Amino acid sequence: MSEMLSFWDPWLRPSAGLATVQWSLLLALATMVGYACQRHAALPKVVGYSLVGGIAGLIGFGANTAWPLQGTGLFLLELGVGIVLFECGGRITLRWFRHNPMVLVQSLAESALTYALAWQALRWLDVAAPVASSLALVAMAASPLVLTRIVSDMRAAGPVTDRGLVLATLSTLYALALGAAQAGMLPRATQGFWALITPVFVVLGVSIAVALVLAALIRLALRFMSPASENTSFLILALISASVPLTSYLGGSAPLAALLGGILLKHFNPRPWAWPRQLGSAASLLTLLMFVMVSTVAAQADWSGPVIGAVAALIVVRLVAKTLGVAAGNVGTGANWKQALWVGCAMAPMSSVALLIASQLVAAAPDLGGQISAMALPTILVMEVLGAAMATAAIYRAGESAMPWRPLSRNANRGDDSES
What tens digit of pLDDT does each residue of 394-415 get? 999 998 888 766 655 444 444 4
Query: Domains of the chain: which residue ranges?
Result: 17-417
> What Å distances lie between residue 413 and 83, 109, 406, 418, CA to CA?
31, 43, 14, 10
State the pLDDT confidence band at 26, using cuts at 50, 70 and 90: very high
> What Å distances lie between residue 349 and 146, 219, 377, 385, 387, CA to CA?
7, 32, 14, 8, 4
Q: What angle do CA 139, 37, 78 make, to 5 degrees?
A: 40
| Cβ neighbours of residue 315 closer than 8 Å, sequence gap 6 or more | 379, 382, 383, 386
Length of the chain: 420
Q: CA nearest 121: which of 136, 111, 109? A: 136
Fold exhibited by the domain 17-417: Na+/H+ antiporter like fold (1.20.1530)
| Cβ neighbours of residue 26 closer than 8 Å, sequence gap 6 or more | 52, 53, 56, 61, 292, 296
The pLDDT, as a whole number, for residue 327 is 87
Within 10 Å of residue 152's Cβ, how many Cβ atoms? 17
Rg (CA), the chain: 21
Residue burial 250-280, b: 16+ Cβ < 10 Å; e: rest: bebbbbbbbbbbbbbbbbebeeeeebbebbb
Whether the pLDDT of residue 9 is over 90: the answer is: no
Q: What is the pLDDT of residues 47-106, one digit of tens each?
A: 999 999 999 988 887 655 678 888 888 998 999 999 999 989 988 888 888 888 888 888
- What is the spatial distance between Cα 336 and Cα 397, in angstroms, rounded to a whole number? 14
Instruction: Report pTM.
Output: 0.89
The pLDDT, as a whole number, for residue 407 is 56
Contact predicate 364/203, CB 8 Å: no
State the pLDDT confidence band at 265, using cuts at 50, 70 and 90: very high
Q: What is the pLDDT of residues 209-247, one digit of tens each?
A: 999 999 999 999 888 888 778 888 889 999 999 999 999
